[in-house]
Amino acid sequence: MKQPVYIDNNATTQIAPEVTEAILPYLTEHWGNPSSMHNFGGQVKRALDTAREQVAALIGAEHPNEIIFTSCGSESDNMAIRGAVDAMGGHPHLITTRVEHAAVLGPCHYLEDKGFRLTTLEVDRKGNLDLDVVREKSMSGKKTVASIMWANNETGVIFPIAEIADIIKEGGGVFHTDAVQIAGKLPISVKDIPVDMLSISGHKLHAPKGIGALYVQRGTKVTPHIMGGHQERGRRAGTENVPYIVGLGKACELARERMEKDVVHERKLRDRLEEGILATCKGAQVNGDPSNRLPNTTNISFEYVEGEAILLMMDDQGICASTGSACASGSLEPSHVLRAMDVPRSSLHGSIRFSLSRYNTEEDIDTVLEKLPVIINRLRELSPFADD
């Protein structure tokens, strides 16, 4: 089968061949339990330590033991939020934003239903937060647990996490950031800013699905949500998923080595793609602050056409992307992120997210720029609104 043009890397990424190679020995030869006393397990333990160092290095954590391996980014988010609230005791005030991933909004709303006060911050039309509001809310007089993403998965918009972390810490709160989309794409360093917890996910940076990590800064109190053995220093029980942890470590190392090159490569392709689409497709517009976003992401709305229809027609041409449109997902609701940004109704239903990786090529962009305008044209011809 011919490989499709895959430009949906914020959904998931291809596993890097180097990562697969690193994993294999831990599926075949080295299958010992890292908790065992014997040397057969001990070897495996050393592989875990290496992976922990590799992950710590990618996000600039000072101590490798600040990294807790989890099963995915969602688990990391859940553990951070619920674990911090639990450890804090009393009734902390939760702060989040309207544009978070469901893995953050889910636990926040769950806690709200349990009677916790939740503030959900609005964003402006470009998808940016108002820092004055963040300050005002975080000084509410109550202890706070804030969870605010670093980069948005749909638009790529980046929040000023250093400043936000400062504000939250000034108010005496605990601060978690979901860094799933930025980790591996742009340099981040948790030792330079007062982030207490940070989530990452393996499959967004060329490791397999089913592995994630949570950075927990020394001294931060968080109740484990899987209790049992003493693995991960008692902060997450369960025998470690060694092969995938090794894979995540390798993926982090690769990302660090290649980041500078990848950023340039992805940004160049993305900009060409974006300019090409805006020039050839009628009614196209970019959603989200163009000067302040991930180098690999662009979210484009097409006026008067609907996202699922675009997506299916692209799929037919071997192009894989995503839509924040209502009709393609189980719910009918257009993307909560674009709605929070007040994207006009005429464009809201026809938004497509293109997200690139180091493996995309000039030819991929050529293909999209050749096929997409035809698709948009065709759908606009079908639409009763397009000519006015």
Partner 1 sequence: MWEYTDKVTDHFKNPRNVGAVENPDGDGLAGSLACGDALRLTFRLNEEKKIAEAKFQTFGCASAIASSSALTEMLIGKTVEEAEEITNADIIAYLGELPKQKVHCSVMGREALEAAIYNYRTGKKLDKHIDGEVICHCFGATDKEIEKITREQKLATAEDVTHACKAGGGCGQCIPEIEEIINRVIGEEQAEEEPKPKLTQLQKIKLIEETIDRQVRPILRRDNGDLELHDVDGDKVIVKFIGACVSCPVSAVTLKDVVETQLREAVSQNIIVEAV
* Residue ranges binding partner 1 (CB under 8 A): 304-309, 312-313, 316, 325-328, 330-334, 345-346, 348-349, 381-386
Q: What secondary structure letter does DSSP report for 293? A: B
Alpha carbon distance 166, 160 (integer Å):
10
> What's the distance, Cα to Cα, between the start and end of the chain in Å?
42
Give whichever of 56 and 309 is closer to partner 1, judged by the CB atom. Answer: 309
Give whichever of 262 and 306 is closer to partner 1, judged by the CB atom. Answer: 306
Judge whether 315 and 174 are in contact, CB under 8 Å.
no
**Least Å from the CB of residue 306 to partner 1:** 5
**Least Å from the CB of residue 385 to partner 1:** 6
**Least Å from the CB of residue 286 to partner 1:** 20
Catalytic sites, residue numbers: 327
- For residue 177, give both structure tokens: 């950031």
Alpha carbon distance 122, 166 (integer Å):
19
* 343-378 b/e (C-beta count within 10 Å ≥ 16 → b): beeebbbbbbbbbbbbbbeeebbebbbebbbebbee
Phi, psi of 21 (to 5 degrees): -60, -40
Give whichever of 93 and 236 is closer to partner 1, judged by the CB atom. Answer: 93
Judge whether 116 and 144 are in contact, CB under 8 Å.
no
**Least Å from the CB of residue 144 to partner 1:** 22
**Least Å from the CB of residue 250 to partner 1:** 31
Alpha carbon distance 23, 7 (integer Å):
25
Per DSSP, the three-state class of 69 is strand
**Least Å from the CB of residue 115 to partner 1:** 9
Give whichever of 170 and 381 is closer to partner 1, judged by the CB atom. Answer: 381
Give whichever of 286 and 328 is closer to partner 1, judged by the CB atom. Answer: 328
Give whichever of 227 and 312 is closer to partner 1, judged by the CB atom. Answer: 312
Alpha carbon distance 67, 80 (integer Å):
12
Burial of 141 (0-12, 13-18, 19+ CB in 10 A): exposed
Burial of 266 (0-12, 13-18, 19+ CB in 10 A): buried
Place of tokens 């449109």: 325
